[in-house]
Amino acid sequence: MKWKRLVAEILAVCCLTGCMAASEEQVVNSGSEPSAPSVSTSGETTRLTFRYHVSRDAPDHSSVEIYKAVDAFNESNPYNIFVETLWLSDLEAEMQPSVETDLYWDYDLSRKNVAEGEYLDLAPYLNQDSDWKQSFRGGILNQMTVEDGVYGIPLSINYSYLYYDIELFEQAGVNAADIETWQDFLDACRSLKAAEIEPLSSSLDFYYEPELYAAYAVYRFGGREAVEAIGNLDKNATFFQPCFERACALAAQLYEENYVQVNDSLYQSGPAAIFRHHTMYQLSERFDNEAPREDFGVLPFPQVQEPLGTSKQWIGVAENIAVSSKTEHPELAVEFLKYMTSDPVQRALLEEAWQVPAVQAVDYDVEKVPRHIREVIEYTAQEGVETFPPLEWRWGLDIYNVFYSPLDSVVRGEQTPQEAMRSAQEEYQALRKSA
């Protein structure tokens, strides 16, 4: 009977070896790059759900183009993918958290969802397709990145910037091309005021108006590092430093000189020369005026003295799509993302909704896009340009208020920049301890 035992031992060894080989193969496969989906020949349809924030019958141009793109993808993709758009209001989304979703519309990357493992890391798919990865506008993927993982794909970018009335500049003898430094900007405001033209106007209330100037100044004076340190709750991070103090003083200067008027009528059609603008507000203008306007140009935020940042830093936030970490079809979800960032979709968002495309090389009809949007596209496509998030998005609302409440007191003349930032630091330290 010894031979039976010998055969049994040999079979056991063979089985064990086979299992180990299979296990090793599985480990190798799990660590390999994601595979591309194959063109479907079976006729079976794979359904993906896409949670979107606006209903199909919403009147805004951007959402109309998103739904058109989804419909076109469903009709033409070779993988037999059908993307079902699931619209849930904020309240419904809270009441139905268990609704299975493959793709999420995320106006700004939700770091909470990333931390909780809700979003899929898309870095392997971007690294596998270098052309796709390099197609995006400068720095915008950084906003989707957390610890080397990329958790969203941007479709369009809402930039914050200043734009100006070309005719009023000519009346005051101001040449926009000559405005490079902050002093140049103040001189231009002074010339406009002397010509009885209001230099600056906004449709926003007083509290929020200074934030554009202060946010750009923080990036200019302190560079990205100062902003990141605050947002990361670093041990040595502090508001009580020159870049924040100087940013407060710079914003307050515009109000001390009475250069800013917060007036809706001036913003819409009145005699103000420079407007605080954000392309997310472009939709309201799109409804009011169907024809692209040629009477406004873009004024990049000027450079400051002794900067750590550069004039090629632009503030903008992306509208993006994230993929659920629980999806059973990640490769197919990525194919949908590639379609949404393809030239036809990006062109439609630009021409029909006046949204700045997330990718750089978009072939579009210039007659369908207003001048100031075209100029934003040209400026942000230049070599070395980086897109940084608004401070509120990078920091979160709690830290944002720690800075902007004292900023408001400086603008109103109630505190000096040093006093305001000292009080901001005290609140920040308390917030950091609680976190």
Confidence of residue 99 (pLDDT cuts 50, 70, 90): low
Structure tokens at 344: 């036809």
Confidence of residue 292 (pLDDT cuts 50, 70, 90): low
pLDDT above 80: residue 415:
yes
Query: In 10 A of CB 190, how many CB atoms?
Result: 15
Domain ranges, ordered by start, for the chain: 46-158+317-381, 160-315+390-434
| Mean pLDDT within 18-23 | 38
Which residues have C-beta within 8 Å of that of residue 265, sequence separation ≥ 6?
Answer: none
Contact 290, 222 (CB under 8 A): no
Confidence of residue 327 (pLDDT cuts 50, 70, 90): very high
Between the alpha carbon of residue 321 and those of residues 108, 142, 153, 203, the distances in Å are: 9, 15, 5, 29
| Mean pLDDT within 318-331 | 93
Q: What are phi and psi of 107, to 5 degrees?
A: -60, -45
How far is C-alpha 386 from the geometric centre of its chain's CA atoms?
Answer: 12
Q: Is the dihedral of CA 371, 376, 379, 380 positive or negative?
A: negative
Task: Please write the tens of the pLDDT for every residue from 105-139.
Answer: 887 667 778 888 899 999 999 999 999 999 998 88
Do 46-158+317-381 and 160-315+390-434 share a fold?
A: yes
Number of C-alpha atoms within 13 angstroms, CB side, residue 327?
25
Any idea which of 156-160, 244-248, 267-271, 372-376 has the lowest mean pLDDT? 267-271
- CA–CA gap between residue 383 and residue 373 (Å, rounded): 18
pLDDT for the residue numbered 207:
46
pLDDT for the residue numbered 259:
87
Which residues have C-beta within 8 Å of that of residue 168, sequence separation ≥ 6?
Answer: 192, 197, 271, 272, 273
pLDDT above 90: residue 332:
yes
Task: Please write the tens of the pLDDT for every residue from 209-260.
Answer: 678 889 999 999 998 899 999 999 999 999 999 999 999 999 999 888 888 8
Contact 120, 324 (CB under 8 A): yes
Which residues have C-beta within 8 Å of that of residue 127, sequence separation ≥ 6?
Answer: 33, 133
Nearest to 242 by CA among 308, 181, 303: 308
Task: Please write the tens of the pLDDT for every residue from 56-73.
Answer: 887 778 889 999 999 999
Confidence of residue 25 (pLDDT cuts 50, 70, 90): very low
Arch. (CATH architecture) of 160-315+390-434 = 3-Layer(aba) Sandwich (3.40)
| Mean pLDDT within 143-159 | 91
- CA–CA gap between residue 221 and residue 233 (Å, rounded): 20
Helix (H) or strand (E) holding 226: helix 210-231
Task: Please write the tens of the pLDDT for every residue from 164-197.
Answer: 989 999 999 999 999 999 999 999 999 999 999 9
- CA–CA gap between residue 242 and residue 239 (Å, rounded): 8
Arch. (CATH architecture) of 46-158+317-381 = 3-Layer(aba) Sandwich (3.40)
In the chain, the percentage of residues whose pLDDT exceeds 70 is 79
